[in-house]
Structure 1
Amino acid sequence: MSVDLGTAQESAVRRLIARFSWPMLLLLCVMATAYGFAIEHPVVVFNLTYLTLAIVLFYLERTMPFERTWLENDGQTFANIAHTLTSKGLVQGLVTFSGVIGITAYITPMQGEGYGIWPREWPLFIQVIMTLVIAEFGLYWAHRIAHEWPVLWKFHAIHHSVTRLWIVNTGRFHFIDSVFSILLGISLPLALGAPLEAITWLSAITAYIGMLTHCNVDMRFGVLSWVFNTPGLHRWHHSKKISEGNKNYGENLVIWDQVFRTWINPDRRPPANIGIMEKMPAGFIAQLAWPFKQIRSQIKRKDNS
C-alpha cells in the first residue's frame, strides 16, 4: 500500500496549526501591543496588529475552515461591517483611546494618585491580569442579562441573528448592546482606580480575543477552554437551543462561567445551524430599528390587553 507523503505532511502541518494557532496568534498580538506601548505608539501598533490578525484568520478560514457551510455568503457582510463601525468601532474606540480624541476629562478624576484601592505600584502585567478578571465580572453579567432580560435581548439578538460565524461578524452588535456591555465592563476596574493603561490593555485584548472567538477556523483548544473564551466554547453559545445558547457568557475569560455554573463544553460537535427564532430583517438600518419596534409592539399589546 502506497502512502502519499505530500498529503501526510500536509495533514501533519494542519494538525500542528490547529493545535497551536489560537494561543500563538493571541501571544503574538499581545507582544505586538507591548511593543506599541514601548515605542509610545500603542494606537498605531494596535490597528496594524488587529488588521494583520484579521488577514491571517481570513486566510485560515478559507484553507482550514471549521464549518464549510459557513463559507457561503449570507448576504450580511455589509450589515456586519456597518454594525462594527457604529458599535465597536465608535463606542469602544471612544473608551479605549479616549486620551487621543480628547475626552479624558471624564475619567481623569479616577486616574489621580490616591484614588481607589488599586495597587498601582505592582508590575503592569499583574495589573492587566487583575483588570481582565475584574472587568470580566461586569462583562459576564452584561452578557447574561442581555440574554435573560427580554428588553435587552431585543438588542443583543442582532448579534445572535447570524447564521454563520466568521471574523467579519465579530463586531456585529447593536450600539445599545455595546454601550451597556462596555460600561459594565470598565466600571468596576475604573471605580477601583485601575490606570488608563490597564484599561487600554483590556480593550486591546478584548478586541483580539473577540476576533479569534468568532473565527471559522479548525482549531484545538484543550485546557485553554477552561480559562479563556475560545471559538470552541463560543460556538455552543450561538446554538439555537436555549440550554446551550444561554451558556458560556465570558468575553475573554470563563472564570465567572465556572463560578456561576454556566460553562459548557460538550464532547460533541457544536451545531452548524445557528441563529435565533425571531425573524430579523436583512438590512442594516432595519436591524438598528428592529429592537425599538419590537419593544413598542410589546407595549401596545400590553396596553390593549
Structure 2
Amino acid sequence: MTIENTAASEGLGRKILARTAWPVLLILCICTTAYGFAIDRPVIVFNLTYLALAVALYLLERNMPFEKTWLENDGQTFANIAHTLTSKGLVQGLVTFSGVIGITAYITPMQGEGYGIWPRDWPLAIQVIMTLVAAEFGLYWAHRISHEWKPLWKFHAIHHSVTRLWIVNTGRFHFIDSLLSIVLGISIPLALGAPLEAITWLSAITAYIGMLTHCNVDMRFGLLSMVFNTPGLHRWHHSKKIVEGNRNYGENLMVWDMIFGTWINPDRRPPARIGITEEMPTSFPAQLVWPFKEIKELDQEGWTTLINEENTKPKV
C-alpha cells in the first residue's frame, strides 16, 4: 500500500470515527449499565463503565482533539478534581443524611402503588425516557436561572471559568450549584411517581452524557444535536459572548431549549477562547468561598438578571 493510500485510509477511518464515536460510546455505556442491573450489581458496573468511558475519551482527546490549544495545561486539574469530589461527594452525603433524618418519609409514599400519574406498568425503557424528559425540565430551569440571576451565577461561574474543555472539568461545579440542579432535576419525576430504578438510570445517563459533552474530541453530530446535548452544542454554551453562552441549557436533551427558543447551533466553528469576564481565583479553596464574597458585594442592580438584552435572539 502506498503512502497516499495509507493516508487516505487513515483519513477515512478518522472521519468514520468522528461520526460514530459519540453515539457508539453512549450506547455501549447504556448496554453495560443494563447488564449491571441484570446481574444486580448496578453501582459496581456503573463505576467501571464510567472509568472506561473516561479512559476512552482521554485517548481520543490526545489523538483527535477538537481544539489543540485545549490540550495545554491550564493549572486547574487539581481544582477540577477537587470540585468534582466536593460537589458529588458532599451533595450525595447530604442527600443520604437527609434520608436518615426523614426525607425518605416523603419519598417512600411516592414509590407506592397508586401514587401520582406515572405509568409504572409501561416498559422500563419508556419510563426512563419519560424520566429524562421530566427531569430535564427542572435541570433546564436550574441551569438557565443560574445564568440569568447574578447570585446563582456566582456559583455557576466556577464551572464556566475554565479556559479549556476536556473530560477532567466535567464535574467542576460548586457544590451549591450541584445541589440546586439535583433537587430541581429529580423532584419532578419523583413527584409524578417515577420509580427509583428510573431515577437511577437518569443519574447514570446524566453522568455519561456529561463527560461526553465536555470532551475535547473532534466529532460530528448531525441530527443528534437536535435531540441530545452534544459537545458541539455545549462549546457554544461556554462562549464568553452572552448571546451565545446563555443558550443550550439542556443537560441531556435539548427538548426544552427547542420549546423555549434557547437552542443554537451556528454553522461556524465555536470559539476556542472560552471562560468568563470576572476574575476567578486559581486555588480550589479560594474558588469555594469566591461566590459568597461576590454575593455579599452585589449592589441592588446585581440582584436582577445577568443580562438586559439577552432575550434578543442571536443571528445564526
TM range (shorter): over 0.9
Matched, 1:222 2:222: yes
Q: 1:69 to 1:3 in 2, by over 3 A?
A: same
Structure-2 change in CA distance of 1:95 and 1:48 (3 Å): farther
Residue in structure 2 matched with residue 56 of structure 1 by the alignment: 56
Aligned amino acid, residue 180 of structure 2: F
- For residue 25 of structure 1, what is the aligned residue in structure 2? 25
Partner residue, 1:272: 272
Comparing 33-42 with 2-11, greater Cα deviation is found at: 2-11
Quickly say closer, same or farther: Cα 1:209–1:172, change in 2 above 3 A.
same
Q: State the distance in 1 between where 2:197 and 2:92 align.
A: 15
Distance 1:241 1:274 in 2: 9
Question: Aligned-residue CA RMSD in angstroms?
Answer: 2.1
Which piece of structure 1 moves more, 9-18 or 19-28?
9-18
Determine the structure 2 residue equivalent to 1:188. Answer: 188
> Which amino acid in the other structure matches residue 77 of structure 1?
T
Q: How many residues align?
A: 299
Question: TM-score w.r.t. structure 2 length?
Answer: 0.90
| Equivalent AA in structure 2 for residue 178 of structure 1 | S
Once the two structures are superposed, residues 216-272 of structure 1 have per-residue CA deviations (whole angstroms, 9 ceiling, x without a partner) of 000000000000000000000000000000000000000000000000000000000
1:234 corresponds to 2:234 = yes
Aligned 1:286-297 pairs, distance under 5 A? 286-297=286-297
Matches within 5 A, 1:164-175: 164-175=164-175
Deviation at 1:114, TM superposition (A): 1.5
Describe the shift of the 1:49–1:105 C-alpha distance in structure 2 as closer, same or farther (beyond 3 A): farther
Q: What's the offset of the Cα at 1:90?
A: 3.8
Equivalent-residue separation in structure 2 for 1:34 and 1:167 (angstroms): 24
Question: Secondary structure of the residue that 1:165 maps to in structure 2?
Answer: coil
Q: Does 1:5 align with 2:5?
A: yes
Tell me the residue number matched to 1:213: 213
Please identify, of 285-294 and 86-95, the stretch whose mean Cα deviation from structure 2 is larger.
Answer: 86-95
- The CA deviation at 1:277 is 0.1
Shift of 1:5: 1.7
Q: Percent identity of the aligned residues? A: 79
Corresponding residue for 2:314? Answer: none
SS at the partner of 1:291?
Answer: helix
Counterpart secondary structure, 2:199: helix
CA distance in 2, matches of 1:104, 1:9: 57
Change (3 A) 1:3 1:182: same
Note closer, same or farther for the CA distance 1:226–1:93 as it changes in structure 2 (3 Å cut).
Answer: farther
Report the counterpart of residue 305 of structure 2 in structure 1. none
Question: How far, CA to CA, are the matches of 2:94 and 2:132 in structure 1?
Answer: 19
Counterpart of 1:197 in structure 2 is 197
Specify the SS of the correspondent of 2:281. coil
Match of 2:298, SS state, is helix
CA distance in 2, matches of 1:105, 1:285: 36
What is residue 140 of structure 1 aligned with on the other side? 140
1:115 Cα deviation from its structure 2 partner? 1.3
Contact 1:92 1:203 in 2 (8 A): no
Distance 1:90 1:200 in 2: 18
Give the gaps of 5 or more residues in structure 2: 303-316
Distance 1:230 1:270 in 2: 13
Q: Cα 1:90–1:32, aligned 2, differ >3 Å: closer, same or farther?
A: farther
CA shift, 1:111, in A, is 1.0
TM-score scaled to structure 1, two decimals? Answer: 0.94
* Amino acid aligned to 2:149: W
Equivalent residue number for residue 114 of structure 1: 114
**Contact 1:92-1:182 at 8 Å conserved across structures:** no
Match of 1:158 in 2: 158
Q: CA deviation at 1:10?
A: 1.1
For 2:121 and 2:37, locate their aligned partners in 1 and report how far apart those are by CA, in whole Å: 18
Q: Which amino acid aligns with 2:17?
A: I
Question: What is the deviation of 1:91?
Answer: 2.2
Question: Using the alignment, how far apart are the partners of 1:112 and 1:7 within structure 2?
Answer: 60
- Secondary structure, in 3 states, of the residue corresponding to 2:273? coil
Unaligned runs of 5+ in 1: none
**AA in 1 matched with 2:112:** G
Give the deviation of 1:92 after TM superposition: 4.9
1-structure distance, mates of 2:103, 2:159: 28
What are the superposed Cα offsets for residues 147-175 of structure 1, whole Å, 9 maximum, x if unpaired? Answer: 00010000000000000000000000000
2:73 counterpart of 1:68: no
